[in-house]
Amino acid sequence: MKEKEEEAGPHGKRAKSAEEALAGLMRYAARAERSSGDALRLMRRWNVPEADRERILHRLCESGFIDDRRFAAAYVREKSSLAGWGVHKIRAGLRAKGIPSDLVEEAVVREYETGAVADRLQELLDRKLRSVSGTAYEVKGKLVRFGLSRGYDYDIVVEAASRAVARTGAEEEEE
């Protein structure tokens, strides 16, 4: 009984052995792209001995289960196209996942060199415009705040919000 108490971590859970952690992380990383930061967080939660964590992470990277460059590229693609996030929010998300700054910049630059950022933001603001009401000034302010909360640059957001509000003004005059 004492052996189990000694193996327990700070929350009373038994620490996983290095072999159990490696097998669990292989299953975890095989289901979706994972970062090295995700793996380290999970190993801490599993109370894997600190001495084993780096060795396990190295094996996962060597065998191709975890690749921070590949993860960063997939994260940027997903968040920019599916979630409609801007550069600033994506950078913050990647940093929170423990991705090194050079890989963050490489992935962001590769995705945003296409120049589709303004078009993507315009679509996002046009969609948001349908659910916003008020004077033109209030609507523009709401759209600007929304665009900034999504992580886009201020200058691009102001231009796109102005275009969206101007189009609705022109549509109202036509009716």
Q: What pLDDT was estimated at residue 11?
A: 56
Residue at 152 is within a domain: yes
Instruction: Characterise 99 by phi-psi region: left (phi > 0), alpha (psi -120 to 50), beta (else).
Output: beta
**Are the CB atoms for 48 and 42 separated by under 8 Å?**
no
Residue at 125 is within a domain: yes
Residue at 35 is within a domain: yes
Residue at 132 is within a domain: yes
Number of residues in the chain:
175
Q: What pLDDT was estimated at residue 46?
A: 93
73 with 47, same domain?
no
Residue at 7 is within a domain: no
Domains of the chain: total: 3
- For residue 12, count CB atoms less than 10 angstroms from its CB and return exposed for 0-12, middle for 13-18, buried for 19 or more: exposed
139 with 163, same domain?
yes
Residue with tokens 């999504």: 150
Residue at 6 is within a domain: no
DSSP secondary structure, 91-103, as one string: HHHHHHTT--HHH
pLDDT tens digits, one per residue of 22-37: 999 999 999 999 999 9
86 with 44, same domain?
no
Residue 76 belongs to domain with CATH number: 1.10.10
Q: Is the pLDDT of residue 169 over 80?
A: no
155 with 168, same domain?
yes
pLDDT tens digits, one per residue of 65-122: 999 999 999 999 999 888 889 999 999 999 999 999 999 999 988 877 766 788 889 9
pLDDT tens digits, one per residue of 31-65: 999 999 999 999 999 999 988 999 999 999 999 99
Residue at 81 is within a domain: yes
Task: Please tell me whether the overall predicted TM-score, pTM, comes out greater than 0.85 for this model.
Answer: no
Domain housing 105: 68-112
Residue at 8 is within a domain: no
pLDDT tens digits, one per residue of 115-166: 678 888 999 999 999 999 999 999 999 999 999 999 999 999 999 999 999 9
26 with 53, same domain?
yes
